[in-house]
Structure 1
Amino acid sequence: MNRIGFYLSGQQPVERVLPLLAKAARQQGERLAVIAGDAALRERLSRALWEERPADFLAHGMAGEPHAERQPLLICETCDAANGATTAILADGVWREEAQSFARVLLLFDDGAREAARPAWRNFDAREGLEREFWELENGKWTRKL
């Protein structure tokens, strides 16, 4: 991993903000793994990618389904992404050590999970060669804070 971003969505649920992040990453040509441990959250994320911004088609699939390896965006329970993703979005706000296998990781969390994200941030304090960013959603746009 050479880049990690912490994304604070404030009061917005992850389903509302994931399409914004996914669209930006896909525009940069990145293949994505969207990771969430909870099956119900994975289903909500899949629906949101279809419905939240209908004009922005974000082709995606679920891990374990046919043709998962061909999906530009794959929703997964673990960091084992069959699509060869180089970028992971940890959509449930939970840091996983195995996420370090991706070139870029985005940890997405809301106000309620802010305290839980702090140890993950501090974990990377002394790591050389790592670009660390902190972003906050303000008025519908991501603003870089650090």
Structure 2
Amino acid sequence: MSGKPEIWFYHLERSSLDQVLPTLLEKTLERGWRALIKSSHAHRLDDLDERLWTFHEESFLPHGRADQPHADRQPVLLSESGENLNGAQALFIVDDAELGATEGIERCFIIFDGRDATALQQARGRWKALKAQGAELAYWRQTDAGRWEKAA
């Protein structure tokens, strides 16, 4: 690990966060990594908490909240502070949460809604600032068929 994570921007245009995030989390766990989801909105974390229990009828994504007991044991941790209590290798930034400390993180996913002008502007500003800092960036966009394609 280099000390700086790869930072991947996911531009939502055809799907919602509720549709995309569980799939990305499944792939993260399949890789043997833990995940940390950071949002600056408690209500968003409440919604995600419920969604991760119910997104498939036959299964769920094991997860917990940073403000609850045993946060360090959770494969997927939901947090407002972004403190890496579970030793996650993957950091998921949703809404307008700040990136914060990235020690121990291999890959950061900044997921934004491209249909929201404010979110799009914030993502563009973040991209420029991170690029100026020499971050390793990638930009992923959905095709018309709904698949993810690396666009930059």
Alignment of 1:76-115 (within 5 A): 76-92=79-95, 94=96, 96-101=98-103, 102-111=105-114, 112=116, 113-115=119-121
State how far apart, in whole Å, the 2-side matches of 1:40 and 1:142 are: 28
Does residue 1:62 correspond to 2:68, yes or no? no
Long gaps (5+) in structure 2: none
Which stretch of structure 1 is more off in the superposition, 113-122 or 46-55?
46-55
Does residue 1:136 correspond to 2:138, yes or no? no
What secondary structure does 2:20 align onto? helix
State how far apart, in whole Å, the 2-side matches of 1:39 and 1:30 are: 24
Give how far 1:145 is off.
1.1
Q: TM-score, normalized by length of structure 1?
A: 0.88
User: Which of residues 112, 122, 127 is equivalent to 1:116?
Assistant: 122
State how far apart, in whole Å, the 1-side matches of 2:37 and 2:133 are: 24
Question: 1:3, 1:103 within 8 Å by CA — same for their partners in 2?
Answer: yes
Does residue 1:35 correspond to 2:38, yes or no? yes
Residue 52 (structure 2) aligns with: 49
State how far apart, in whole Å, the 2-side matches of 1:68 and 1:82 are: 6
State how far apart, in whole Å, the 2-side matches of 1:37 and 1:91 are: 8
Give how far 1:4 is off.
0.3
State how far apart, in whole Å, the 2-side matches of 1:95 and 1:133 are: 19
User: Which of residues 78, 82, 93 is equivalent to 1:75?
Assistant: 78
Long gaps (5+) in structure 1: none
What secondary structure does 1:116 align onto? helix
State how far apart, in whole Å, the 2-side matches of 1:125 and 1:81 are: 24
State how far apart, in whole Å, the 2-side matches of 1:49 and 1:37 are: 18
What secondary structure does 1:100 align onto? coil
Which stretch of structure 1 is more off in the superposition, 66-75 or 101-110?
101-110
State how far apart, in whole Å, the 1-side matches of 2:75 and 2:147 are: 24
Question: 1:32, 1:86 within 8 Å by CA — same for their partners in 2?
Answer: yes
Q: TM-score, normalized by length of structure 2?
A: 0.85
State how far apart, in whole Å, the 2-side matches of 1:132 and 1:39 are: 28
Give how far 1:11 is off.
4.4
State how far apart, in whole Å, the 2-side matches of 1:131 and 1:95 are: 19
